[in-house]
């Protein structure tokens, strides 16, 4: 394998990615205010500041040559402004605490708003003209949040728009905070550490589905079974463990005891999405192109799951690295998306676990092509 190909795959995987063993971030609280650390400070003279210094030097030389007291007075005032600018800018940056407010879900390619909250912990003095830039993977993002005035003891929040090109987990390490207050002669900045991890889910897009068989009530493939979600199968008296939402109140009132509805299982509404995420470069092709194809396949799988679950299907996921059982609802869709967000590329010789019998299978190839398979694994249709 060529060294350049290894570098390309590393760029595709991206920094901060982890394996699927810890894909669940549910229940993780938002980060607290940034701890006060010893900041890394930097002082830079602005363009206006250099012009001010050049004028000050010219006035100083003129005062020395002429001995004019008025010029010495003006020079002293200008140097005083530089000193006051440094003091006020330092005072403006002190006593600030920061918090990062990511949205509930982030999808690749789709822009989102990252919230930044700043609290002025000083008792009396406000902070002016504060610029906050986020730091991700030791790189300052070209996104700035500007706070004109933060009164003492108050908190202000704003947001910047950003988008990640790929799925995975990304880490933010801190903020670069700067100000040019009060005269824009000096820009004083410091780095405040605040680590936050965000999980970027696969991109959701429109996908073409192969023709799916219509629900059926007869035959061996779609047998009439007792289950949940279908037509009423029968009635029985309430037993411990039954779902209270299935109580048939009208019949219960007529019989004088609680009666539960039994529903027909809709096996025709159950689908398994099988994903091939092996890294298989074509002959003469690069690993980068193969990785792009796998990313397309993962995004296609996520889009299929989102579409099918929203249509009321029970969807399961089958990959070379593991499975997720069939289920329904928004919470199950979230589990699938989080699993796919941290799914690694599989080896070329990796195989799928055995699928369950009597279940429709949608196969997504490593190139992102979708086909409908029979329960025995034979291809029936393709999209």
Is the confidence at residue 215, as pLDDT, over 70? no
| The 3-state secondary structure of 124-184, one letter per residue | CCCEEEEEEEEEECCEEEEEEEEEEEECCCCEEEEEEEECCCCCEEEEEEEEEEEECCCCC
pLDDT of amino acid 232: 57
pLDDT of amino acid 42: 84
Q: What is the dihedral of CA 215, 216, 217, 220, to 10 degrees?
A: -120
Question: Which residue intervals of the chain are DSSP H helices?
Answer: 3-13, 47-66, 69-93, 249-255, 287-310, 330-341
Structure tokens at 174: 């801190």
Strand partners, 335: none
Residue 164: name the closest of 119, 199, 120 by CA. 199
Q: What is the pLDDT of residues 20-48, one digit of tens each?
A: 333 333 334 444 444 333 446 788 989 99
Find tokens 């190839």 and name the residue. 365
Structure tokens at 96: 């600030």
Domain definitions of the chain by residue range: 31-201, 225-265, 268-382
Local confidence band at 347 (pLDDT 50, 70, 90 cut-offs): confident
What is the average per-residue pLDDT within 240-252? 78
Beta carbons of 354 and 339 less than 8 angstroms apart: no
E strand or H helix at 326: strand 322-327
d(CA 313, CA 109) in angstroms, rounded, equals 26
Residue 328: name the closest of 309, 356, 311, 304 by CA. 309
Q: What is the pLDDT of residues 63-106, one digit of tens each?
A: 999 888 999 999 999 999 999 998 999 999 999 999 999 998 99
Structure tokens at 17: 């990615």
CA–CA–CA angle 197, 343, 112 (5° rounding): 45
Answer yes or no: pTM beyond 0.85: no
CA distances from 151 to 53, 116, 264 (A): 32, 16, 63
If one compares 161 and 243, the residue with the highest pLDDT of the two is 161
Find tokens 């411990």 and name the residue. 240
- Pick the range with the lowest mean pLDDT from 33-47, 201-215, 266-280, 360-374: 33-47
CA 82 to chain centroid: 43
Beta carbons of 348 and 280 less than 8 angstroms apart: yes
Architecture of domain 31-201: Sandwich (2.60)
Q: What share of the chain is helix, strand, coil (3-state, %, to 5)?
A: 30, 35, 35
Backbone phi and psi for residue 298, each to the nearest 5 degrees, phi listed first: -65, -40
Q: Is 353 helix (H, G, I), strand (E, B) or coil?
A: coil
Average pLDDT, the chain: 78
pLDDT of amino acid 238: 79
């Amino acid at each position: 394998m060529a060294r350049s190909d290894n570098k390309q795959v590393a760029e595709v995987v991206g920094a901060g990615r982890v394996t699927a063993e810890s894909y669940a971030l549910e229940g993780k609280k938002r980060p607290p205010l940034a701890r006060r650390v010893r900041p890394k400070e930097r002082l830079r003279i602005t363009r206006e500041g250099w012009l001010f210094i050049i004028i000050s030097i010219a006035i100083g030389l003129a005062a020395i040559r002429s001995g004019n007291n008025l010029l010495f007075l003006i020079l002293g005032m200008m140097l005083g402004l530089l000193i006051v600018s440094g003091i006020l800018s330092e005072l403006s940056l002190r006593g600030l605490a920061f918090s990062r407010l990511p949205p509930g879900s982030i999808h690749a390619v789709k822009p989102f708003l990252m919230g930044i909250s700043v609290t002025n912990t000083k008792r009396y003095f406000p902070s002016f003209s504060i610029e906050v830039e986020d730091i991700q993977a030791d790189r300052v993002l070209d996104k700035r949040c500007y706070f004109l005035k933060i009164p003492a003891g108050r908190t202000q929040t704003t947001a910047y728009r950003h988008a990640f090109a790929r799925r995975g987990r990304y880490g933010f390490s801190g903020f670069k905070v700067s100000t040019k207050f009060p005269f824009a002669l000096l820009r004083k900045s410091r780095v405040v550490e605040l680590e936050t991890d965000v999980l970027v889910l696969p991109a959701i897009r429109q996908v073409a589905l192969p023709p799916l068989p219509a629900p059926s009530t007869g035959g061996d493939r779609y047998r009439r079974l007792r289950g949940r979600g279908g037509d009423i199968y029968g009635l029985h008296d309430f037993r411990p463990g039954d779902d209270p939402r299935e109580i048939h109140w009208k019949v219960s009132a007529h019989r004088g005891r609680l009666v539960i509805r039994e529903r027909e299982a809709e096996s025709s509404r159950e689908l398994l999405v099988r994903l091939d995420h092996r890294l298989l470069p074509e002959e003469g092709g690069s690993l980068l192109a193969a990785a792009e194809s796998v990313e397309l396949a993962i995004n296609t799988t996520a889009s299929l799951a989102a579409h099918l679950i929203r249509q009321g299907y029970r969807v399961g996921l089958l990959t070379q690295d593991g499975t997720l059982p069939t289920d329904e609802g928004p919470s199950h869709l979230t589990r699938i998306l989080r699993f796919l967000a941290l799914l690694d590329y599989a080896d070329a010789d990796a195989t799928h676990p055995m699928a369950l019998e009597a279940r429709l299978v949608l196969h997504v190839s490593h190139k992102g092509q979708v086909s409908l398979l029979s329960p025995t694994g034979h291809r029936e249709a393709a999209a």
